[in-house]
Amino acid sequence: MLKRRNDILHAPASALWNPEAVAVIGASDNPNKVGGRAIHYMQRYGFQGRILPINPQRTEVQGLTCYASLEDLPEVPEAAIIAVAGDAASDAIRACADMGVSTAIVMASGFAETGAQGRALQDELVRHARTAGMRIVGPNAQGIASFVSGAVLNFSTMFMEVEPMDGPIAIVSQSGAASVMPYVLLRERGLGVRYLAATGNDADLGVAELALSIATDELIRLILVYVESLRQPAMLAQAARIARERGARVVLLKGGSSDLGAAAAASHTGALAGQDAALDAFLERHGILRARDVHDLVNAAALFVQGLPVREGRAVVMSHSGAVGVLCADAAERAGLPLAGLSDATIEALARILPGFATAGNPLDLTASLLGNGAMFSQVLDVLGDDPQADMFLIGVPVAGPGYDVPDLARTAARFMTSHRKPLVVTAPQRSVRAAFEACGVPTYVSETDAIHALWQYAHSDALHCAEEVSLPPEQTSVPNGLLDEAASLNLLQRYGVPVVAHAVCTNAKEAASIAQTFGEKVVVKGCAAEIPHKSEHGLVHIGVSDARGAAENCLARLASLGVREPRVVVARMERGLHEFMLGVTVDAVLGPIVVIGEGGTLVEIRSDVVSLLAPFSVEDALTALRRLRIAPLIDGYRGQLALDVEALAQAAVALGNFAIAHRTSLVSVDMNPVIVMERGKGVVVVDAVVEFKEPA
Amino acid sequence: MLKRRNDILHAPASALWNPEAVAVIGASDNPNKVGGRAIHYMQRYGFQGRILPINPQRTEVQGLTCYASLEDLPEVPEAAIIAVAGDAASDAIRACADMGVSTAIVMASGFAETGAQGRALQDELVRHARTAGMRIVGPNAQGIASFVSGAVLNFSTMFMEVEPMDGPIAIVSQSGAASVMPYVLLRERGLGVRYLAATGNDADLGVAELALSIATDELIRLILVYVESLRQPAMLAQAARIARERGARVVLLKGGSSDLGAAAAASHTGALAGQDAALDAFLERHGILRARDVHDLVNAAALFVQGLPVREGRAVVMSHSGAVGVLCADAAERAGLPLAGLSDATIEALARILPGFATAGNPLDLTASLLGNGAMFSQVLDVLGDDPQADMFLIGVPVAGPGYDVPDLARTAARFMTSHRKPLVVTAPQRSVRAAFEACGVPTYVSETDAIHALWQYAHSDALHCAEEVSLPPEQTSVPNGLLDEAASLNLLQRYGVPVVAHAVCTNAKEAASIAQTFGEKVVVKGCAAEIPHKSEHGLVHIGVSDARGAAENCLARLASLGVREPRVVVARMERGLHEFMLGVTVDAVLGPIVVIGEGGTLVEIRSDVVSLLAPFSVEDALTALRRLRIAPLIDGYRGQLALDVEALAQAAVALGNFAIAHRTSLVSVDMNPVIVMERGKGVVVVDAVVEFKEPA
């Protein structure tokens, strides 16, 4: 038995991405078959390890000695590709595990993607492998590839079509297609890709763990991730943290809608948060940029690869066409990319360079005088580059032709990037113009919107923070089941520091009347029964009543008529404040509880003005998030109104988050609406709440 | 004097786009000078008319006889290019006009773009030309070009770079750069452009009129328009109407923010409507699609050119990758493009074709079985093409290579378009794959989002209607000046059928108290003074008061202390309804009044939930627009609440629109907030209004 390496994590150059020997079970002499392609690629792309084809029908495959079975191999391979089908695949996986293979790349399909039976088989094989110490990529995986070691354990046809080149980018994807789509876009822009993985069913060694295995590679500047259902978020967070610490970035594209929608159907908060709120909150917390499609995933890649300082991300737009400046300014406004205000010194210096009729500003119009005066371009760039407020540059070249020395402009732009170390991109509709700039290493875009968006992505990604790793407190083990009634909900939340309304639960009207006196002249009386969460629809909510007794009698009778066995009412203090908010919790199966904060009241779902935070979080996090609400102007006092006690609201949100974390696997949802917010210093009070726990299994 | 044709409108083949003779004033022998390039282009691109260079320094220019002056010409040219500078340009314009030239293409700059003096000169020259019967394109214009006649009266370098080809697209732009950017994007996609114009200062024969001159050309399927400030909207509307009648479309890109912002600064409605609301309302009314950037302007061009029936615009997505289907479905949801529900017959037929493990659905996953079974693609397409619910097709080809016969797939797709006459596009990240489909005439996209968006643009453009031409009623000639006080505003609006609250104006508290009795137990009392429009900020609004006398005294005293000479109060009936809306008017200098309808109340600007309609409009228009509000769910009764009298709200909006049209040049703005909407059948009532007219000049 030869040596075995299992230190996959944090060791990108080791076993996984550069195995000493690779067995190919189901090896084919035909490079266009699944069992032949990896062998072809490994030989073609310079893999230095040993390739061990296995096929009982052959003694030689693609010029290599072929073995009849695993047992016949001269050594235990570090990696094995499983390219046989059906039961043979399962047998091969088990045999590899038992033999001491480190990683199996299971290309065979017929597992979880086919239904429950396939899933059960897959689970069993993963358990078997894990017990034996083997990791599985797949099954149903296109495979992994390292274009630095030549270990291309991958059957995609793409590397026949578009020649690989080692470079500072990694692609990890659940889907095979979604791994090669960004690959080809990057390669056609001249950017190199070092690692590429497509994990198919993603059953064991998945996308997050692969990202983590790559994050420590000093050469990698950008990790692109495609998932349809994210597993192991903590590993992805760790990968993002490790990458960010050395200036590299993670960009993620999620295909399809999340599972949150279904899980949270019972709660208003779930519907309100939207299906992707948990993922957005997770990505934001861990400084991972989100892309909306494959094009977007690679849009800023050239900027990430160059890694020039972002500074404050203020852009300067210049062009020899006024319209391009106008269109770029429009795009910048849409994207939220700030344009730099130029210093007086810059304006004066530009005025000395530009022709008399041109005005120095941002966007800067070089006018057609650029024609026949290429030196002007260089002078202008130097002046702008020295302005401390000019952080990033977009140059629009809408038209070229006689009089424009485009290669010279391109060389000037490239020189500028070296001398001033400020990001610079070019937008040009004409292919030949882009090619001239690309040849000098200047990132180019067809559309001004894409160019502006790339600058925004680059600056925004830089501005994101990556939260510290937190260790979660232990969960509460003794928890209620199902829907809690209002009183039980309020009491439970109060124990976690959520400020709830002064209230009492009464079983008869006389008691209600007596308690009501202690709450003031007017009170709130509500029917209280877990089975009737939508109280107002049943006439069970009486607000601002002076006849508490009558209201209680009414509620008790109504509850009885609805079949509630032990009718009760909640009598509560009548609270008035400046504005109604809502706080809620919905729980993502993978990412855990998120707290939703927003405008409350009866129109909460129509207003749909909410922000979401992954629990737990700090008061500062909550305050920052609150500023993103449409109703944020109310916070500091809108049009002469009083300022809101937003600090107290943030504290209540934090308390709710802590409650959710303490019940993270048992909780279904929390709806608190309205949360009445008083003037600054006077607090907030939750006047209604419904907590729902899972039903016992 | 030779014959002269002035029938520019509706005669695309005539004078303007194919003049019998073109004089070039300031002709140059150098094709790379402004005065030389049009001559070069016209000779190169087969212009059949006579080219008449004028330059006192030369006897020959680019092989043509050169004349010393206009007077020396052997004929009166239909068109003249003015390529001389400064005073010579002005002199040449005047001379051309006096001589009987039909159209002058003024490339010379130094006019309105340089300031007030230049603008005055420009205005004077336009007046001079118009009087003489000559039209001016420009000044400061890159010029016009017809690639069918070869009349390229245009100095852009672009036609040196990218060879023209006649085709069914026209580009009319104020900016030179913005005319050639879409040109190069179209040409690099293999699409032909017949007309191209860049009007520079757009002082006379402008973008809208040029579009109109093109709209009747039966070959033109698509007119692309770029403006920074739209002039002559009625002509553009007419062009869109003529084009639409024969199935052609207009797409418009506007650069820069509109002037509305500044003009409407005084009114809440103006701020609320947003800078571009008037333009959006105008474009929607006239069935003109709006693009957000140059890329977007040409994004669906291939679909427009093919002109296949849209039917109901339901798309089918198919790919041999599940991820592409997922990503396309995501993009379709974002774009609002409906995916077709396939009929049972289609599902069954597909099940017979697809491999066992694939599921027939939309998106349709052909799986990797497409490899080595190209016939399946054709069979599947035929089945889908026969489904009456499948209107448009998107095929995702994320990867190619050995086993994929891409040229055959491309031929199959092209055949399908011919046989089924349904729009079909392909998305493929790989350049060579796109090229194979493009070669067969199949529109292709790099990104799935762009492909989906193109289908949406094409379907949406088809669904737009083009309003009938309306003749506006005459304007009111006797109108007030400046800001009207509440009472005057309400009374004026009431005369146009706007339902306003029952109210009275009183000058003393006793009178107020007496009137109040006729309005019920509780009333509203407000201070009334035109100079104090923001009443509540001065404590001048008393709602639901029983002591009308006290409230009136308070208001009168407060008004006196604010320096109001004749203090008055409005006493009004206390109105209660289901929800507060707002209605307002803001007036665009070019497009006229727009009516803004939205949620009302004190938080109106925070909520910012409004729709805008170009006045005048119908009740149906208003009802349709209301359904676009975020608060639209309230209309039919939300969560057991009563339905709103939305019909009455729409009627009030129509009345307001008619009022605005009757005062279209004198009105500045109207703010009516709140407009209290009652339950269905009970009407609406405007309880506060401010009308502002222009101050006398």
B330 and A256: CB-CB below 8 Å? yes
Residues 469-528 of B with CB under 8 A from A: none
Give the model confidence (pLDDT) of B489-518 as tens digits: 999 999 999 999 999 999 999 999 999 999
Residues of B in Cβ contact (< 8 Å) with A319: 177
Number of helices and strands (H, E) in chain A? 24, 29
Query: What are the phi and psi torsion angles at B102 (to 5°)?
Result: -80, -45
Query: What are the phi and psi torsion angles at B136 (to 5°)?
Result: -115, 130
Residues of B in Cβ contact (< 8 Å) with A606: 630-631, 633-634, 638
What gap in Å lies between CA A588 and CA A641, rounded to an integer?
Answer: 38
Question: Which has the minimum average pLDDT: A535-549, B59-73, B442-456?
Answer: A535-549
Of A178, A402, A448, the CB nearest to B294: A448
| Residue B228 contacts A, CB cutoff 8 Å | yes
Residue B267's pLDDT is 60
**Range A579-693: architecture per CATH:** 2-Layer Sandwich (3.30)
Tokens of B361: 């659905």
Residues of A in Cβ contact (< 8 Å) with B185: 429, 446
| Residue A369 contacts B, CB cutoff 8 Å | no
Q: Is the pLDDT of residue A586 over 90?
A: yes
C-alpha pair distances (Å), B400 with each of A174, B450, B482: 19, 20, 69
Residues 520-549 of A with CB under 8 A from B: 537
Residues of B in Cβ contact (< 8 Å) with A198: none
Closest CA to A164 of A184, A143, A144: A184
Residues of B in Cβ contact (< 8 Å) with A158: 399, 401
Closest CA to A309 of A247, A250, A251, A249: A247
The full set of domain ranges for chain B reads 21-256, 304-463, 502-573, 579-693
CB atoms within 10 A of CB B627: 12
Q: What angle in degrees, to the nearest 10, is found between the helix axes of A322-335 and A448-463?
A: 40
What gap in Å lies between CA B302 and CA A495, rounded to an integer?
Answer: 64
Residue A535's pLDDT is 85
| Residue B357 contacts A, CB cutoff 8 Å | yes
Mean pLDDT over the full length of chain B: 92
Are B250 and B211 within 8 A, CB to CB?
yes
Residues 566-585 of A with CB under 8 A from B: none
- How far B453 CA lies from chain A's nearest CA (Å)? 13
Question: Among B114, B447, B630, which would you mutate to test the A interface (most chain A Cβ atoms within 10 Å of its Cβ)?
Answer: B447
The pairing of beta strand B50-54 with beta strand B21-25: parallel
| Residue A85 contacts B, CB cutoff 8 Å | no
The pairing of beta strand B79-82 with beta strand B103-106: parallel
Query: What are the phi and psi torsion angles at A137 (to 5°)?
Result: -100, 115
Give the model confidence (pLDDT) of A526-584 as tens digits: 999 988 877 888 889 999 999 999 999 999 999 999 999 999 999 999 999 999 999 99
Mean pLDDT of the region A400-404: 86
B181 and A634: CB-CB below 8 Å? no
Q: Is the pLDDT of residue B2 over 70?
A: no
What gap in Å lies between CA B26 and CA B55, rounded to an integer?
Answer: 5
Give the model confidence (pLDDT) of B196-220 as tens digits: 999 999 999 999 999 999 999 999 9
Query: What are the phi and psi torsion angles at A441 (to 5°)?
Result: 85, 15
B181 and A398: CB-CB below 8 Å? yes
Residues of A in Cβ contact (< 8 Å) with B634: 603, 606
Element (H, E) at A160: helix A158-161
What gap in Å lies between CA A32 and CA A319, rounded to an integer?
Answer: 49
Of B181, B323, B537, the CB nearest to A175: B323
Pick the CATH number of A21-256 from 3.30.750.210, 2.40.50.110, 3.50.50.60, 3.40.50.720: 3.40.50.720
CB atoms within 10 A of CB B589: 13
Residue B358's pLDDT is 67
- For A304-463, CATH gives 3.40.50.261
| Residue A292 contacts B, CB cutoff 8 Å | yes
Residue B466's pLDDT is 86
Are B36 and B61 within 8 A, CB to CB?
yes
- How far B185 CA lies from chain A's nearest CA (Å)? 6
Give the model confidence (pLDDT) of A244-287 as tens digits: 999 999 999 999 864 433 333 446 667 777 768 899 999 999 99
Residue A244's pLDDT is 96
The CA dihedral of B227, B232, B238, B239, to the nearest 10 degrees, is: -30
- How far A165 CA lies from chain B's nearest CA (Å)? 16
Give the model confidence (pLDDT) of A445-484 as tens digits: 999 999 999 999 999 999 998 888 888 999 998 899 999 9
Residues of B in Cβ contact (< 8 Å) with A321: 175-178
Q: Is the pLDDT of residue B169 over 90?
A: yes
- How far B56 CA lies from chain A's nearest CA (Å)? 25
Give the residue from chain A lying closest to B401, CA to CA: A157
Residue A268's pLDDT is 66
Q: Which residues pair with A80 in a beta bridge?
A: A23, A104
Q: Is the pLDDT of residue A440 over 90?
A: yes
Residues 94-153 of A with CB under 8 A from B: 109, 113-114
Type of residue numbered A421: R
Residues of B in Cβ contact (< 8 Å) with A162: 430
What gap in Å lies between CA B623 and CA B620, rounded to an integer?
Answer: 5
Pick the CATH number of B502-573 from 3.40.50.2300, 3.30.1490.20, 3.40.50.20, 3.40.630.30: 3.30.1490.20
Residue A358's pLDDT is 67
Residues 299-328 of A with CB under 8 A from B: 319-324, 326-327
The pairing of beta strand A193-198 with beta strand A143-146: antiparallel
ipTM of the complex in this document = 0.93
What gap in Å lies between CA B604 and CA B610, rounded to an integer?
Answer: 9
| Residue B607 contacts A, CB cutoff 8 Å | yes
Residue A371's pLDDT is 67
Residue A14's pLDDT is 66
Of A255, A321, A357, the CB nearest to B330: A255
For A41, residues 6+ apart whose C-beta sits below 8 A from its C-beta are A145, A150, A152, A154, A159
Question: Which has the minimum average pLDDT: A348-352, A615-619, A666-670, B592-596?
Answer: A348-352
| Residue A2 contacts B, CB cutoff 8 Å | no
More confident residue, A345 or A354: A345
Give the model confidence (pLDDT) of B81-116 as tens digits: 999 999 999 999 999 999 999 999 999 999 998 889
Give the model confidence (pLDDT) of A77-120 as tens digits: 999 999 999 999 999 999 999 999 999 999 999 999 888 999 99
Mean pLDDT over the full length of chain A: 92
pLDDT band at A357 (very low <50, low <70, confident <90, very high): low
Give the model confidence (pLDDT) of A278-313 as tens digits: 999 999 999 999 999 999 999 999 999 999 999 999
Residue B268's pLDDT is 66
Q: Do domains A304-463 and A579-693 have the same CATH topology?
A: no
Mean pLDDT of the region A493-511: 96
Q: Which residue has the tokens 């099954």?
A: A139
Tokens of B65: 């006889």
Residue A267's pLDDT is 60
C-alpha pair distances (Å), B118 with each of B86, B109, B114, B204, B230: 10, 9, 6, 15, 20
| Residue B399 contacts A, CB cutoff 8 Å | yes
pLDDT band at A639 (very low <50, low <70, confident <90, very high): confident
CB atoms within 10 A of CB A199: 32
Segments of A60-100 assigned E as strands: 60-61, 64-65, 79-82
| Residue B359 contacts A, CB cutoff 8 Å | no
Q: Is B104 exposed, middle or buried, given 0-12, 13-18 or 19+ CB atoms closer than 10 A?
A: buried
Are B422 and B393 within 8 A, CB to CB?
yes
A603 and B638: CB-CB below 8 Å? yes
What gap in Å lies between CA A128 and CA A93, rounded to an integer?
Answer: 9
| Residue B637 contacts A, CB cutoff 8 Å | no
Mean pLDDT of the region B527-550: 89
What gap in Å lies between CA A547 and CA A512, rounded to an integer?
Answer: 10
B606 and A400: CB-CB below 8 Å? no
A177 and B323: CB-CB below 8 Å? yes
Cis peptide before B616 (omega within 30 of 0): yes
Buried (b) or exposed (e) across A63-80, using 16+ Cβ within 10 A?
ebebbeebeebeebbbbb
| Residue B438 contacts A, CB cutoff 8 Å | no
What gap in Å lies between CA A344 and CA A497, rounded to an integer?
Answer: 54
Q: Which residues pair with A424 in a beta bridge?
A: A393
- Computed on alpha carbons and rounded to an integer, the radius of gyration of chain A in Å comes to 31
